[in-house]
Structure 1
């Protein structure tokens, strides 16, 4: 009887302990499974974020490459336009030179002896400018002297010469074309522009300055002997001019 009583007490106790152990084992297994799931979830999230970042970086690289390519094309287009523009300007001044060459020289029009002082020779009358022409010329002068926009001034000088040919201010426009080219400096173009005034409009008030500046241009082109010849021509042909005074100074300095 005593043995049966002890068995009745011990057996439920054993069952209780076994139940506790089983519950603990189940809880541990559940917790381990939950931890694995959490780790996998975290890994998947990190992978997704990394993929998203890579996608963003790839998009940014493509955008930058596109902008770089656009800038390269723009630069190439501007360079091409610049070359074409200056080729066009060179051709235009050559065309103007040929056009002027077809006209009679100032000495022929004046009818004076070739050795006569050109400052006192009879001069032809040049067409006087209208108000609109004066306004256009004044705007070009503003571009040159105040704004220093030489490229724009060159373009407008060509347009002025085309629109208002054979006028008093047209000769001035040729002269200032030479001055702007001299400043840039584009010496061959300057030489051609000054030569037009010096040889075809030798009776114009701008002629002494043009001959002198032609000499300056030739000096910069390292054509010293020809530069000296132009300076001597200024002194001989326009002895009372300010250009003659500057030419004498050049000659007296021993240059050329």
Structure 2
């Protein structure tokens, strides 16, 4: 386009010079000159519009790249927190299994650990509906378990993955209300923000992200909340 325009200008100038030689200051010459000027103005506007569109596209692509980088960072953080949770869970299970010799039954620590691990393994395998049902059963059968904060949190995650958003919100709220000082509470609040966003409650979701920054400023969940609020 940049090469063609000068060529067109040369050709047009030659045509005008020829017309001027033939017609001088006649009406035909003036009409031809006005027509050529109009064409050049239209061509210039077209080039300017094209340049603006290209700049807008470059800006949009840069913005999309930034969003992708943020999402990848969030995913990596979530994976790391999940790995940390699994390590903590394994430690708890080994501790509970240290109480061996007790017959399996209600209130048996080994039975609790086994049921919890089975529900979590279903979630690891991507069986979200089955995992949700298993965690719901665990919560019902072990109402005094020390694992209830984690059980409700993972039930919320399973419900979120199963697209049972209302249930997910309820589980996350349970963690926040009953165990606000548990290490898993910041992530439960982040899960609540995700649930609200999926329900179309954008303002409440943002308010929840701000609450994470206020209550748990040093948590990894706060880092994610800060990034989302800043639109990075």
How far the C-alpha of 1:214 sits from its partner, in A, is 0.3
* Alpha-carbon shift at residue 162 of structure 1 (Å): 1.4
Q: How many residues align?
A: 126
Deviation at 1:136, TM superposition (A): 1.4
Q: Report how far residue 139 of structure 1 moved.
A: 1.1
Q: 2:131 matched to 1:153?
A: yes
1:187 to 150, 158, 165: 165
SS at match of 2:147: helix
Q: Give the conservation status (yes or no) of the 8 Å contact 2:209–2:226.
A: yes
Residue by residue, what CA displacement relative to the aligned partner does 1:82-110 show, whole Å, maximum 9, x if unpaired? xxxxxxxxxxxxxxxxxxxxxxxxxxxxx
Corresponding residue number in structure 1 for 2:153? 175
TM-score, length-scaled by structure 1: 0.47
Instruction: Using the TM superposition, give the Cα deviation of residue 155 of structure 1 relative to its aligned residue in structure 2, in angstroms.
Output: 1.6
The answer as to whether partners of 2:129 and 2:159 remain within 8 angstroms in 1 is no
Q: 2: distance between equivalents of 1:246 and 1:168?
A: 27
1:142 to 94, 116, 121: 121
Q: Secondary structure at the match of 2:181?
A: coil
Secondary structure, counterpart of 1:247 in structure 2: helix
Deviation, 1:181, is 1.0
Question: Is 1:244 matched up with 2:222?
Answer: yes
Structural mapping, 1:196-207, within 5 Å: 196-207=174-185
User: Cα offset for 1:250?
Assistant: 0.9
Gaps in structure 1 of 5+ consecutive residues: 1-127
TM-score (norm 2): 0.51
The residue number in structure 1 matching 2:19 is none
Deviations along 1:29-57, one digit per CA (max 9) or x if unpaired, are xxxxxxxxxxxxxxxxxxxxxxxxxxxxx
Q: Conserved in 1, the CA contact under 8 Å of 2:186 and 2:221?
A: yes
TM alignment of 1:12-31, pairs within 5 A: none
- 1:118: which partner in 2? none
| Distance in 1, Cα, partners of 2:111 & 2:141 | 11
Tell whether 2:218 aligns with 1:213: no
Name the counterpart of 1:132. 111
**In structure 2, distance between residues paired with 1:134 and 1:174:** 15
Alpha-carbon distance between aligned partners in 1 of 2:227 and 2:213, rounded to the nearest angstrom: 10
The Cα of 1:159 is off from its aligned counterpart by 1.2
Matched, 1:228 2:203: no
Q: Which has the larger radius of gyration?
A: 1
- SS of the residue 1:213 aligns to: helix
Which stretches of structure 1, 4 residues or more, deviate above 3 A after TM superposition? none
What residue is the counterpart of 1:76 in the other structure? none
The one of the two structures with greater contact order (alpha-carbon pairs below 8 A, sep at least 6) is: 1
Alpha-carbon distance between aligned partners in 2 of 1:144 and 1:225, rounded to the nearest angstrom: 30
C-alpha distance in structure 1 between counterparts of 2:182 and 2:192, whole Å:
15
C-alpha deviation, 1:131, in angstroms:
2.2
